[in-house]
Structure 1
Amino acid sequence: MVKDYILCVDDDRTILMSLRAQLKRHYGDQYAYEIAESAEEAWEIIDELFSDGHKVDVVISDWLMPEVKGDQFLIDLHKVYPDIIKIMLTGQADQSAIERTKQYGNLAECFAKPWTIQELAETIEQAKMEQIS
């Protein structure tokens, strides 16, 4: 069975585990969930999932990560997979990085850490509705 995925990207494993647990509690089996600790690892997962016939519906990425920051990752992701819903979580992104990602990466929303699952879920649902219309 082909599953839709939510991919969470953050260099802090504790954040990843918390985020994945919240998403699982909220969405249950509606999605499958993957985590990546870097943009490079995220690309590997995304490419593998798509090559296996799966769909990545949502990518939730931290901004401040080593090597490739979340804004550049999401902008690059948009160039290859424009239909993926892109959300950024951050405690440290500057406003120009957020605006650049909205303009060039079709960023659905940027949330400051700590976030709430209600905020994330509302953003995901709203972005999905916008894709349909």
Structure 2
Amino acid sequence: MLDKAILCVDDEQIVLISLRDQITKNFGDQYLCEIAESVDEAWEIIEELEIEKIKILIIVSDWLMPGVRGDDFLIQVHRLFPQIITVMLTGHADEAAIQRVREEGNLFACIPKPWSESTLIKTITLGLEQDDN
């Protein structure tokens, strides 16, 4: 069983399916790829993975979601789990929100929507290299 995971959070199911498919295609034999349609669901998954002793290496989160925005979520994640690499995926975030999560949430990267698979995979690969250090 795989003991490391990548978590993707986005309120659009088509985005989540694309992310999961691209990540699984490139990393499926090394990491679990979990998806959440909301920040609340993401916290539930984080809790379940903790119980199962599965380490979350990277979280890729949308910025503009109902309820809690991605920058607030990633800052909370960083405060509780500073070892998790955070990536924001967005077509809407303004520079102030991006800068805030860089400063308060140790944002590793921001990927604009629509993204290319190569950009996503390169960003995740670089993030995983950060985790090794």
TM range (shorter): over 0.9
Distance 1:60 1:20 in 2: 11
How many residue pairs match? The answer is 133
Are the aligned partners of 1:2 and 1:53 in contact in 2 as well (CA < 8 Å)? no
How many angstroms does 1:47 deviate by?
1.0
Q: Counterpart amino acid of 1:59? A: I
Instruction: Using the TM superposition, give the Cα deviation of residue 2 of structure 1 relative to its aligned residue in structure 2, in angstroms.
Output: 4.6
Give, in whole Å, the separation in 2 of the partners of 1:130 and 1:3: 18
- Residue 110 (structure 2) aligns with: 110
The separation in 2 between residues aligned to 1:84 and 1:19, in whole angstroms, is: 18
Contact 1:26 1:117 in 2 (8 A): no
Moved beyond 4 Å, runs of 4+:
none
Match of 2:123 in 1: 123
Residue aligning to 2:70: 70
- Report the 3-state secondary structure (helix = DSSP H, G, I; strand = E; otherwise coil) of the residue aligned with 2:29: helix
RMSD across aligned C-alpha pairs, in angstroms?
1.2
- Point out where structure 2 has 5 or more consecutive residues left out of the alignment: none
Aligned AA for 1:19?
Answer: L
Local SS of the residue matching 1:108: strand
Query: What TM-score, normalized to structure 2?
Result: 0.94
Change in 2 beyond 3 A, CA 1:2/1:17: closer
Percent identity over the alignment is 49
CA deviation profile, 1:48-99 (whole Å, cap 9, x unmatched): 1011111111110000000100000000000001111111111100000001
Q: Which residue of 2 aligns with 1:35?
A: 35
**Distance in structure 1 (CA, Å) of the matches to 2:8 and 2:2:** 19
1:54 aligns with 2:62: no
